[in-house]
Amino acid sequence: MSIEFHSTSDKWVKCLSGTGTIRAVAVNAAEISNRLADRHELTPSGRKALAEAIIAGLILSSYCKTGEKVNLNIQSSGWSNQTIIDANATGEVRGYVLERAPGDIQLARNVGPWGIGLLSVLRTKHDEAQPYIGTVPLLTGHLAKDLTFYWLQSEQVNSAVGIEVFMENDRITLAEGFLIQAMPGATDADIGLIEEHLKKLHHFDSSSDIRSTPTLLLSYLLENQSFQLLEEQPLTLKCNCSLDRVKRSLTLIGADELRSMLAEKKDFEIDCDFCSETYVFTPAMLDELLRDMS
């Protein structure tokens, strides 16, 4: 059974400056991050990594068109071996973290908790056979900074990205992020004002009113500039796994492997990587699969 959890508080908010030269999106996703981290039974560092990646994936997907989706793939030497996030234009997201044992984390000096590695973004459109993929190295180990580099390198757009996750008693109390992009016609003065606010943002703790909603965060970041709210989208934790999908996956391993499993005369449990839902296959179900394949 696939999972679908509609958050009561998580959302993204998109806006455009009055001059049409600055566009921005801000995201809150603490509730979804906690729900998915609970399902995956992650450690505190794994929870924080998952929350950061969820924010990144949602920022990426917030400017997708209808029917588009993104897959964020982070392979790193820090918090995780690999982190995968799927997100789409309607605010649906799922993902997982393959945690690295604390003793196996390899961080160079002055490198953030993600370490070094690769960040890849796969964009898929329903009406196009070939998806677009952009890959950049993790240079700083800080996801927001490396995502900023991705936009400059792969999208050729000057951008500023912020991602912050606060935790208390191993629970995520705040997971927020933003993307601000300079559009054609943006002046140095426009960009300078935003840069000044970005520098001061880290002085506000997680209980600050500025951090309480995406709209207030945008209001602070774009202070002294008029802006128009374009969209307020509630977020959903959604995985499209199902028993039928798992059955189809099992048929791909071939009849010989299925016969080998059937010979063990026991139930097999198969977990979905994205949501940790467990699907149990009895010998009778495996036998039925084999008959259907013949």
> If you average pLDDT over residues 118-138, what whole number do you get?
85
pLDDT at 7 over 80: yes
Q: Which ranges in the chain are annotated with CATH 3.90.1280.10?
A: 243-293
Contact call for residues 60 and 87 (beta carbons, < 8 A): yes
Q: What would the pLDDT profile of 88-113 be if each residue is shown by its tens digit? A: 999 999 999 999 887 777 777 789 99
SS3 label, residue 86: strand
pLDDT averaged over the chain? 89
Supply 288's token pair: 């039925």
- Give the model's confidence band at 128: pLDDT under 50 very low, under 70 low, under 90 confident, else very high: low
Q: What is the DSSP string of 15-67?
A: EEETTSSEEEEEEE-HHHHHHHHHHHT--HHHHHHHHHHHHHHHHHHTTPPTT
CA–CA dist 289, 161 (Å, integer): 48
If one compares 45 and 183, the residue with the highest pLDDT of the two is 45
Contact call for residues 14 and 25 (beta carbons, < 8 A): yes
Going by C-alpha positions, the residue among 111, 57, 56 that lies closest to residue 79 is 111
Given this model, what pLDDT does residue 127 score? 63
- Give the model's confidence band at 32: pLDDT under 50 very low, under 70 low, under 90 confident, else very high: very high
Q: Which ranges in the chain are annotated with CATH 3.55.30.10?
A: 4-238
Contact call for residues 88 and 64 (beta carbons, < 8 A): yes
Given this model, what pLDDT does residue 293 score? 79
Assigned superfamily of 4-238: Hsp33 domain (3.55.30.10)
CATH number 3.40.50.720 given to 243-293: no
Given this model, what pLDDT does residue 159 score? 85
- For residue 9, the number of C-alpha atoms closer than 13 Å in the C-beta half-sphere is 14
